Amino acid sequence: MSTIAPPAHGPGRVRGVDELRALAEDAAHRLADADAGEVLAWTAATFGRNVVVACSMAADTVVPHLAAQHIPGVDVLFLQTGYHFAETIGTREALAHAVDVRIVEALPRLTVAEQDTEYGPKLHDRDPQECCAMRKVEPINRELGSYEAWITGVRREDNSLRANTPVVEWDAAHQMVKINPVAAWSSDEVMAYAGTHGVPVNLLLDEGYPSIGCEPCTRPVAPGEDPRAGRWAGHAKTECGLHVAEGQDTIPVTPTALPSRTLTHLEALESESIHIFREMVSELERPVLLFSGGKDSIVMLHLAAKAFWPAPLPFPVLHVDTGHNFPEVLAHRDATVERLRLRLIVARVQDYIDDGRLLDRSDGTRNPLQTQPLLDAISEGRFDAVFGGGRRDEEKARAKERVVSLRDEFGAWDPRNQRPELWNLYNPRHRPGEHVRVFPLSNWTELDVWRYIGAEQIDLPHLYYAHERDVFHRDGMWLAVGDVSRPRDHEQVERRVVRYRTVGDMSCTGAVESAAITIADVIEEVALTRITERGATRADDRVTEAAMEDRKKEGYF
Ligand code: SF4
C-alpha cells in the first residue's frame, strides 16, 4: 500500500503500557460480576474522553447509547470499509442524530476503486483475509493507537471464540484496555434495551441478518442457524481480525474444501430477470422492449443485453414519445441505441394530436395519451410480447400484475382474470390478436434497482443526480420550468438543487430536493425514504386511488 494513512482521531495515550495493563487486570477482577452501568461508570472515571466505542451499526448501537450516559459526546468508531449496506449507513446517521456521540470514521488507506486497481476486483471473494486486513484491521489499529481504552459490543453468545469474554480485559494485540459492557447480554436483552430507550438499530436485523458486516460478505441466516453463519459464508473465516484473544496471533482462516456458492440478493434478482427474457424469447415470436430512457428501462435493457450477449438483442425497442420528454433523457436514449446497435421504433403522441386522433388534455399532461399510440404500435408491429420495466413496489395496480400478463385483442387488462404463476413457470399463451406484457423487474424494488446500477456501473441521464434547476412548487412537488410546464401566476420560480426519482412527461413529473450526487448517495437516500418514486413525484398517478389501474385496464403500461 502506498497511500498515506489518514490521521487518527483520538487524544493520544498518556499512560504507559504497564499502567494500562495494571488497570485492566485490577478492573477485570473487581468488575467481573458488575452490570454494564457500573462498568461504564468506572470507564468514565478512569479514562474520561480517552476511550472510544467501536460500533458496527447493527444492534450494537445500544453500546454507544449506554456509554453516552456516562461519557457525553463519547467518540464512536465506525469502520468505513466502503462496502456497507445502505441500511448500515442509515443507522449511522440515525445514531448520530439520536444519541450524544461523536462519530469518527476509520478509513482504509485505499478507496475501493484504488484497491480494485491494485489487487483486482472483488478481493473479498478471493482473499477475504487480505481484504479485511486492509479495510478493517489496519484502519482500526491506527485509530485505537490514539486511545487508552476501547469499548466493544462483543457478547459471549456471538460465537464460541467469544464465549469467555470478560467485561474488562487487557487487549494484548492493541496494548490497551478493552471493555465489553454487554458481554453477558443476550440478543433479546439488547433489543429490549434498544426498544425501551429508542436507540436506532439496523433495519436488516428484521430481514434475517442477526450479524451485519460488509454487503459482499454478509448473507441472511436461516432460523436456527448460528447468528454469525451469514458472515463470510463459504469461507472458514468467522472473525474479521479485530477481536484477537491473548495468545492468539491471528484468526485461523483456511478455505473450505468445497466452498458453497450462495447467490447474493442482487445476483438472484439478475438471474431471475435474465431467465424471464430467455424464456419469453424462446416461447414467443415477436417480442419488443418498451424503452423510455428512464432508469428502470435502462436497467431492463442492460439485463436483456446480458441475457443474449454476445449476440445482439433479438428484438427492437419501442419508445412512446409524449413530446414532453426531458431533453437529457432523449439524448441518453439515442446514445444507448447507437452504442448497442438497437432497432428503435418511436410512436409519437404528437402525430396523433396533429391529425386529430387525440386531443391535448386541459391539464396539459400527456402520459394518459400514450395508450393509443402504444396499442397501435403493438398492433402494427404484430408484437406478441412487450417487455416493460414495471415493478410491484411502485404502486398498487402494478403490485397486482403477474410477471407475464395477458392483454386481450383490445390491449385491455382484466386484473380479476389473471393466470396462476407458480414458482418461475410463466404462461405466455394467447390467441391471435392478443399479446402478453412481460415484467422482468417485477420483484425488484427501487433500492434494488439503484444497488444494481451501482454494482454494474450503469450510466443514467444526469437528471437522476442532484443538480441545480429552475423549479416551481405545485401539489407538493417541484416541477421544472420548461416549454410544457409553466408556473401559474401565484407560483414562484426558484433555483433549487433537485434530482428526479422517475422520469416521464415533464409537465407532471416532479423532482425531489436532494444532495445525492453519486450512486452511493442515491442508494443511501432511497434506503431511508418511505414513499415510492411514483407516489412521491408523479402527479398523474395521484389523481385517484385507482388512476394507474384504470389506465392499465385500457392498455397502458
Ligand atoms: S468483510 Fe468482506 S468486504 Fe469487508 S473488509 Fe472484510 S473481506 Fe472486505
Mean pLDDT of the chain: 87
Confidence of residue 167 (pLDDT cuts 50, 70, 90): very high
CA-proximal residue: ligand 1, atom 6 (nearest): 132
Q: 388-414 pLDDT, tens per residue? A: 999 998 878 888 889 999 999 888 888
Is 456 in a helix, a strand, or coil? helix
Q: What per-residue confidence (pLDDT) applies to 256?
A: 34
Task: Give dist(CA 551, CA 102) in Å, integer.
Answer: 51
Q: Is the pLDDT of residue 4 over 70?
A: no
Ligand 1 pocket member 132 (CB < 6 A): yes
Per-residue pLDDT of 500-544, as tens digits, reads 998 888 888 889 999 999 999 999 888 877 666 655 555 555 545
Indicate if the pLDDT at residue 420 is higher than 90: no
With the most atoms of ligand 1 within 8 angstroms of its CB, the residue from 81, 88, 109, 126 to mutate is 81
The minimum-distance atom of ligand 1 relative to the CA of 134 is 5
Fold of domain 266-445: Rossmann fold (3.40.50)
* Atom 4 of ligand 1, residue of closest alpha carbon: 214
Range of weakest confidence among 236-245, 304-313, 360-369: 236-245
pLDDT in tens, 492-502: 999 999 999 98
pTM of the model: 0.54
Residue 264: Cβ within 10 Å count: 14
Report the pLDDT value the prediction gives residue 485, as an integer from 0 to 100.
83
Domain boundaries of the chain, sorted by first residue:
17-217, 266-445, 454-550
Are 17-217 and 266-445 equal in CATH topology? yes
pLDDT score, position 247: 43
Is 240 labeled as catalytic in the residue annotation? Answer: yes
Strands annotated E in 42-185: 51-54, 74-79, 101-106, 149-151, 168-171, 176-179
Write down the pLDDT at residue 505.
Answer: 84
Report residue 51 as a C-alpha cell.
Answer: 476511550
Antiparallel, parallel or unpaired: β 385-387 and 344-348: unpaired
Give the CA distances from residue 45 to residues 11, 15, 175, 420, in Å, rounded to whole numbers and listed in that order: 16, 15, 20, 66
Q: CATH number of the domain at 17-217, please?
A: 3.40.50.620
